Structure 1
Amino acid sequence: MDITEFYQTFFEEAEELLSDMEQQLLQIDPSDPDGEQLNAIFRAAHSIKGGAGTFGFTVLQETTHLFENLLDKARHRELTLDPTTIDIFLETKDMLSDQLNAYRQQTEPDSAAYERICNTLKALAEEKGHGGSAAASATTTDQPSMTGPAPGGAMVIRIAGVAADNATSLAEELALFGTVLEQQHAGEVLTVRLETATGEEDIRAVLCFVVDDDQITFENAAAASSDDSLEMTAEEWPVEEEPVHATPEAEKTPAVEPAGVEAPVEPAKAAAPAAKKPEQRVAASSENASLRVSIEKIDQIINLVGELVITQSMLEQGTSDFDPVTHGSLLSGMNQLQRNARDLQEAVMSIRMMPMDVVFNRFPRLVRDLAGKLGKQVELETVGKSTELDKGLIERIVDPLTHLVRNSLDHGIETPDRRLAAGKPASGKLTLSASHQGGNILIEISDDGAGLNRERILNKARENGLAVSDAMSDDDVWQLIFAPGFSTAEQVTDLSGRGVGMDVVKRNIAQMGGHVDILSRPGQGTTTRIVLPLTLAILDGMSVRVGEEVYILPLGAIKESMQVRPEDISTVTGNDRVLHVRGEYLPLVELYRVFDIPDAQQDVTKGIVMIVQSEGRSFALQVDQLIGQHQVVVKNLETNYRRVPGISAATILGDGSVALILDIPALSRTPQDREGSHTGHHRGAAALH
């Protein structure tokens, strides 16, 4: 059997196990470690070792074996944990990740790094092993079990569906949990009498890579047989066609390191009650309701659903003039098709949605390491981890969030002595939160540090030649830190202070259709707020007409629409005009001028004005006519043509024509400066036809 087809499954499972391992290590209290946490870390290491052995990943297997031995001593209280030991365990986890990535890239892991981590683990075992040497020399039955002792100190374990060449390896694997008293293999059923203090749950967990949960049954040794023989009957294992009797082996199997078992890697399953009837085992197998699907297949389905929605829109527009009496059944079917298409669209899009927990779980380790490096005490809190975001955005938001967290730790939160002098607790607080806000997701990074220094920012901006004034609002001053090359750090460090990053953060977020704002109060802390669309594939929009052109405005950006009077319009410098709305003056952006559209309505009082909001600012957008509101399938304009100023993407309307989706943030920043946009936007539309 070619086991290379199972590589990807192993890589994904091992990556999840390593992530879980890191979370458990960060949460564990070295002075009073929780037994369940130690068990979970041990099971993760053992499962990875078993899979690595299966696929011949020798370096990964041997590293994990050394790590597993230390974890086993820790969970049996033979090794005393302390912060230094936890640091070594975390370093080992990082090394395992590097080795896993090397095998994923079909290369060999770094041999020097492998030798270094092995020497570190061996040294730790020798250093910590003296106090527990007596316990280590005792038999396994003398050691406490974290999940409770096996009934009577011994159990009979039966594993169905085991080929002859795998039986020995499985028996050796079970020998790690204690002393194998007897074993036999007959009729593809391996039966082992094991003297152990390890609980059933632990044994099930570490065998998850090589056998299914419903292949294993456990029995108390005394109850299993009154004459100390390992006999199996057809009633006990219905998979057998006839009773099988075999003589137990005379010698005990020594506890040696298991050889690789050539079997497909299966995702870890939750422990289920032992099954003795075929129908019970079928039910247990059906409990695993998850399925791994490659992202390419999901993207293909999303594209097909998008085309279906476009086709449905075309059909709807084509039948809009039909007589309801003559074509009642057809129109009814069209309405049903519309509802089904929308439900299908939402269901398919939900497949790509992932919880923010996937992102937030990266930061406990980052905060722990950086806080230690900076000599600061920081408590990390995460809120809204179950809030979902499109997978494509999840992957792209990690780097901006990482930079913002590093900034909060380096520039925001003070050292313990400064915090105590300011009347604050010595430990600072960093909060990551996520929540839904309409059709968007709101992500906030908040700290209770010193806050931004207005005067220092203004002085640095003047040094950099930026146009600033003392009359600027705080919000405008805070936005200055997003200027390229801007930094107020007193000295350059390897964490920050080189004036790179914040401009990239803002640009990357803007490319995702979002914006970033900063709220800061001196001495109380800073909050960085990121607003992103839930997905980049589907957009709720309002179609508007300007001359003969149709544009789409993202619905979430629209505050209201109105018709205005001449006295509401004022002209300022040059040809720029502002609109007076309820005591507030808003810049007026005339789309016909931005895109140089002929035959458009130039009299603002005869057209429609849309009040839109972007990056915390409102402005007015002049259009000729509102057409209607609908969901549109977003098509990337850059892929098919090139980037066009003022345009973020395109879509296909029900009549087959192309409509361009307006880039609201870009229009709000430089509304009238669009030289060359007219040609670019017309060619962009033509490129998508």
Structure 2
Amino acid sequence: MSIDMKQFYAVFFEEVSEHLANMESLLLAINIESPSLDDLNAVFRAAHSIKGGAGIFAFDDMTEVTHILETLLDKLRKQETILTSEMIDAFLQAGDLLAELKEAHQEGGEVDPDKVKTLCKSLESLSAERAVSPESAENNSAAETVCREITFLTEEKEDISTLLRELAEFAELSCSCDIQDGYKKWCLTLAEASVSDDELIDCITFFAEPGSIVITGLEVKEEKKQEEDAFGLFAEENTHALIENDSFGIFDELPVNSNNDSDDLPAQPSLLLPKAAESAEQETQSYGFFSDEDKHIEKKPVPAGRLKSAVKSSRNGSESSSSIRVNTEKVDQLINQVGELVITQAMLTQISALLDPSEHEILLNRLTQLERNTRDLQESVMSIRMMPISFVFARFPRVVRDLSSKLHKKINLKMIGDETELDKGLVEKLADPLTHLIRNSIDHGIEMPEIRLAQGKEEIGTITLFAFYQGGNVVINVSDDGAGLNREKITAKAAERGLNISDSMTDNEVYQLIFSAGFSTAEKVTDVSGRGVGMDVVKRNIVEMGGQVEIHSDLGLGSTISIRLPLTLAILDGMSISVGDHIYIIPLTFICESLQPQTENIKTINGKGTVVKVRGEYIPLLALHQLFNIETQVHQPSDGILVLLESSNKKIALLVDQLVGQQQVVLKSLETNFHAVPCISGATIMGDGRVALILDAAGLISSME
């Protein structure tokens, strides 16, 4: 029966992205002078896994690149050649090219074949350079070698001849098989292999029960090799004969794809997919094609009593954790359903407030328990969408490395708090704003090495990414120890552009000018920056996520740009306010305070409208009933409540009838169900079933400018 391989493309492309990200982080952190063998092995395994998967799906261009990349990495980990910075550059370029090829196969595009050939030639030339001396290589092959015994279970009908051929290419191999209760228990002996246990597991997991794989290392001395050959380890000529047979005396002969290079691991098999893959529901699950130590493997059921004891994986001596891949649409659907449950629970709570506690004590107690359980369920479901911000931070070492090298600057990147979790939707939207801020710090903030030395600073500049929780928000600081912002330069440029400025503006108000569209103080335009495009987009994107941007700077010492974001876009902490018969929600993150003003503090300024004096500061006043044309009994500010809102160091006073209360609401999109409405960011359903609109605080503040 033929199997449509395209149904597994999504799994392959996702895991390729993970492997490439892992490779890049390892390469950027590796010590060129004294590289860790574990790191080299990890990079090799990532390339090997991508090559194996690309071979399965017949992506020949990816197979070609990873094969040559793997060859050079194999020489490095065997200490047959010396690691250089040129190799690191080539490896990173190979990762970029593989990402392009993956995207081309994923989206149906093309990559210039000459680009592939050029990189392959570059890798081949590096592979031929700086070989380790024969004496050193001889010393590296220790007097002691490693022989391993490998046991695992497969289904009785599972064909593993491809696996046996692949393992035989690592080293001399012998095998035996015992059939019991519909399963085959395999016992293999692999001699003198430099391959790691992790690589062996990567190969075997595709065919075998993951939890059944056991690898036992046996140290044998070199002088005992001849003796061990007599006990079942194949000599080289026997191994070749075994590979030519293709069947190991157990299976029918399989055709070999002549297009595959004999060194490619694994060769394209005739049957590689688990039986469970026939289910359409498993298209989004991982079948362990390209697993490494961080990959979770979907386990097939093992009959009770099959394993007499808990079998531990050889990866770091720990059991492989169990997890599943779930499409984000299913998670979003679950979150929406829990949101509806929260709304229903709020309705029941509001109705129960009308009941007599003495007559309905048991019912009220159960409703209280339901409220507690609903909140716990809500928090648990929301945590599913939470992702560590390291998914964004991980891309910036490469950005800093490439751009600082291009600008001939020396920069060290520090990342703190990358385990801080944020909603997946926010994490994905953060990448572009943070990338622009990092590039801005490199180009405008950090000075050239000679200038830093002349100013008494260290030659190497530092950029710090710091994420942390503050209240119900996540704060991300992008700091540098560079030149800082020049107030005079900014105000001069603002005056030149005709922006509204005054000498009484605070530093923060002046610094906010850099977020104006087209604003730039760069003396010349480069391909990095200087066109005045970017900072306005940064602010707009952050505001759209319900966040705020603040700037702190000291001339000559450096700058810090702080981004404040809500933890999630699905749940909102807000203040309910009433205007006439309508209820509105104001996000708490924008509220400074609320007050009832005195008549003498309300002033009218020609051309400016109404303002209110709060502790010596005059703040523009916006009457919500006038903005939305609502009938109300409150017409004078002194008869209502003023809610002070702040965004981007600007404040307004919002006139409302009264404060209803603070609560957590489930955010519903207006654009999805209706269309965008000015000054409204969404809607929610209240406990009494009424729809309440959520105010766009940043939009309201901008409307008063």
Secondary structure, counterpart of 1:127 in structure 2: coil
Q: Which runs of 5+ in 2 are unaligned?
A: 245-261, 274-286, 297-301
Quick one: which amino acid aligns to residue 172 of structure 1?
R
CA contact (8 A) 1:611 1:620 kept: yes
Quick one: which amino acid aligns to residue 154 of structure 1?
C
Question: Who is 2:264 aligned against?
Answer: 257
Q: What is the correspondence of 1:222-621 to structure 2 with a 5 Å cutoff?
A: 228-229=230-231, 251=241, 253=243, 256-258=263-265, 259-261=267-269, 262-264=271-273, 265-266=287-288, 268=291, 270=293, 278-281=307-310, 287-574=320-607, 576-621=609-654
Q: What value does the CA root-mean-square deviation take over the aligned residues? A: 3.1
User: How many angstroms does 1:27 deviate by?
Assistant: 0.7
CA contact (8 A) 2:197 2:215 kept: no
**Deviation sequence 1:283-334 (CA, Å, 0-9, x none):** 8697423221111100111111111112222222233212222222222222
Secondary structure, counterpart of 2:469 in structure 1: strand
User: How many angstroms does 1:611 deviate by?
Assistant: 2.9
**Deviation sequence 1:254-298 (CA, Å, 0-9, x none):** 8843312443431636499xx997043578697423221111100
Q: Distance in 1 between matches of 2:63 and 2:144?
A: 28
CA contact (8 A) 1:560 1:611 kept: yes
Q: Which runs of 5+ in 1 are unaligned?
A: 232-247, 674-689
Question: Who is 2:252 aligned against?
Answer: none
Of stretches 58-67 and 502-511 in structure 1, the one that deviates more from structure 2 is 58-67
Distance 1:648-1:352 versus aligned 2 partners, 3 A rule: same
Of stretches 214-223 and 506-515 in structure 1, the one that deviates more from structure 2 is 214-223
Q: Distance in 2 between matches of 1:536 and 1:628?
A: 21
CA contact (8 A) 2:144 2:219 kept: no
Q: Aligned to 2:154, which of 125, 145, 161? A: 161
Q: Aligned to 2:165, which of 167, 172, 178? A: 172
Percentage of matched positions with identical amino acids = 46
Question: Who is 1:630 aligned against?
Answer: 663
Q: Aligned to 2:215, which of 213, 218, 234? A: 218
**Deviation sequence 1:191-236 (CA, Å, 0-9, x none):** 443221536534435426524543433343989x9895559xxxxx
User: How many angstroms does 1:451 deviate by?
Assistant: 1.2
User: How many angstroms does 1:375 deviate by?
Assistant: 0.5
CA contact (8 A) 2:214 2:312 kept: no
CA contact (8 A) 1:542 1:555 kept: yes
Secondary structure, counterpart of 1:489 in structure 2: coil
Quick one: which amino acid aligns to residue 170 of structure 1?
L
Q: Distance in 2 between matches of 1:176 and 1:584?
A: 79
Q: Distance in 2 between matches of 1:519 and 1:132?
A: 55
Question: Who is 1:686 aligned against?
Answer: none
Distance 1:636-1:79 versus aligned 2 partners, 3 A rule: same
Q: Distance in 2 between matches of 1:149 and 1:101?
A: 45
Task: Normalising by structure 1, report the TM-score.
Answer: 0.86
CA contact (8 A) 1:99 1:110 kept: no
Secondary structure, counterpart of 2:527 in structure 1: coil
Q: Distance in 2 between matches of 1:543 and 1:434?
A: 30
Secondary structure, counterpart of 2:683 in structure 1: strand
Q: Distance in 2 between matches of 1:74 and 1:403?
A: 36
1:195 aligns with 2:191: yes
Q: Distance in 1 between matches of 2:232 and 2:310?
A: 23
CA contact (8 A) 1:43 1:205 kept: no
Task: Normalising by structure 2, report the TM-score.
Answer: 0.84
User: How many angstroms does 1:421 deviate by?
Assistant: 1.2
Distance 1:215-1:229 versus aligned 2 partners, 3 A rule: farther
Of stretches 610-619 and 347-356 in structure 1, the one that deviates more from structure 2 is 610-619
Secondary structure, counterpart of 2:618 in structure 1: strand
Distance 1:119-1:269 versus aligned 2 partners, 3 A rule: closer
Q: Distance in 2 between matches of 1:311 and 1:190?
A: 56
**Deviation sequence 1:540-562 (CA, Å, 0-9, x none):** 11111111211111123333333
Question: Who is 2:203 aligned against?
Answer: 207
Question: Who is 2:87 aligned against?
Answer: 85
Matched residue count: 644
Quick one: which amino acid aligns to residue 172 of structure 2?
V
Q: Distance in 1 between matches of 2:692 and 2:112?
A: 53
Of stretches 492-501 and 117-126 in structure 1, the one that deviates more from structure 2 is 117-126
Q: Aligned to 2:13, which of 7, 11, 14? A: 11
User: How many angstroms does 1:249 deviate by?
Assistant: 7.5
Of stretches 569-578 and 294-303 in structure 1, the one that deviates more from structure 2 is 569-578
